[in-house]
Amino acid sequence: MGWLRLFFLHPVSLYQGSAFPFALLFNYLCRMDSFSTRARHLFLLAGGGALALAAMGSFAVLVFIPALGTVVLICSLGPQEVHRWTFFFQMSWQTLCHLGLHYTEYYLQEPPSMRFCITLSSLMLLTQRVTSLSLDICEGKVEAASQDIRSRISLSEHLCKALPYFSYLLFFPGLLGGPLCSFQRFQARVQGSSSLCPRFSFWAFTWKGLQILGLECLTVVMRRVVSAGVGLSDCHQLQCIYVMWSTAGLFKLTYYSHWLLDDSLLCAAGFGPEFGESPGEEGYLPDADIWMLETTHRISLFTRKWNQSTARWLRRLIFQQGRAWPLLQTFAFSAWWHGLHPGQVFGFLCWAVMVKADYLIHTSAKLFIRSWLMWLLYRTLTWAHTQLIIAYIMLAVEGRSLCSLWLLCNSYSSVFPVVYCILLFLLAKRKHKVN
């Protein structure tokens, strides 16, 4: 099952690549005074509709319907009600679509359509934009159009007021990937003066292109290594650890390449960090911080840096709202958002436990480790342990099915999370006694 998720990213990358000329065209047109704000919204919306139809085919309607429903709710409800209802509507719709995937994979025992997988991925990104927008409205950061929806104005005026929301939810640079772009940043870019439009940087895009090319070459090499070896079903003892590490490495390289491409597309359209920030808005956050992800010895830091914009969105949506067990709530919601496959439920709950253990382990280490030699040894061991635990979690989440999860749990790879679980129990017990 994990291979399906891995390879569906490549068709998405092809569609993202085909959108580059239109992103550059949009950036160019924005420098013209004659290219009005309404024309910009329509360009982004039309591009999103065309890209959705090209990538998803008839399944695109599964993205159009919740986008329409969200706009209707935003224009019909008060600021304090809009988040609760849009969240319920969007997550219910996404869950129904994920249940369709469950039915195809587990009941019919058939591989799902590639277009349907792309649609589900786009729906997950749409959920981010919907909930981000509804939270902004609820917190007063964005003024909703609801106050005029019941007044006696024409249909065309209603549509004009709703156009920015439609455009934001379906704009083509963020439809299939990319860091989460807030509605404030989106509006600032679309409504910005032509003289303030960011310029195209040839060298910056060349550097990103070289990075993507290098990652793709590494991916090809890694795929051959993984394909030439045995899988979890055929490995024995310590060999299973190597299989886990190499397979997770292939997953990570694929995600890094995909995230860099998504980031480049947003920057090409002018939604990147060079555009600046609106007052009160969080800064632009790319998804990939490869150096930090590959060198950190802390699971908690890896968690914050992995898919950074999504991590920040989850922190705002769930963690900061949760009163009891916010960490567990955040990872449980992440499993729900990803589709509630058995491997995902196990993987994300395991991840939550590992983060909790990470906090206690490193807090205790700071109290007991004094010499620099011991600290160096400690960092080296915890780095290796962190990377292996992340690989374990990644295989559980990407494998998804009970069969893959069973193979993973019965392998020698399970030693690494078990060690952290034991340390969590011992350190939590010691902390309780001290308190």
Instruction: Decide: helix, strand or coil at residue 418.
Output: helix
435 labelled catalytic: no
Q: CA-CA distances (angstroms) from residue 155 to 71, 75, 162, 391?
A: 14, 13, 11, 53
| Cβ atoms of 253 and 391 closer than 8 Å | no
- How far is the CA of 106 from the CAs of 1, 8, 401, 402, 403, in angstroms? 11, 19, 9, 10, 11
C-alpha–C-alpha distance, residues 197 and 206, integer Å: 20
Q: Give the whole-angstrom CA distance, residue 404 versus residue 170.
A: 35
Distance CA 19, CA 265 (A): 8
Q: How far, in whole angstroms, is CA 409 from its chain's centroid?
A: 26
Cβ-proximal residues to 402 (8 Å cutoff; 6+ apart), any chain: 342, 343
The residue length of the chain stands at 435
Catalytic site residue 338? yes
Phi, psi for 77 (deg, rounded to 5): -110, 160
CB 116 within 8 A of CB 51: no
Contacts with 157 (C-beta within 8 Å, 6 or more apart), sequence order: none
- Describe the crossing of helices 114-138 and 79-102 by its angle, rounded to 10 degrees: 160
What separation in angstroms does the CA of 28 have from each of 22, 24, 249, 251, 345? 10, 6, 38, 35, 45
Catalytic-labelled residue, pool 83, 258, 297, 338: 338
Contact 405, 343 (CB under 8 A): yes
Distance CA 333, CA 328 (A): 9
**Catalytic hit among 307, 341, 362, 385:** 307
Q: Where are the beta strands (DSSP E) in 265-327?
A: none
Catalytic residues: 307, 338
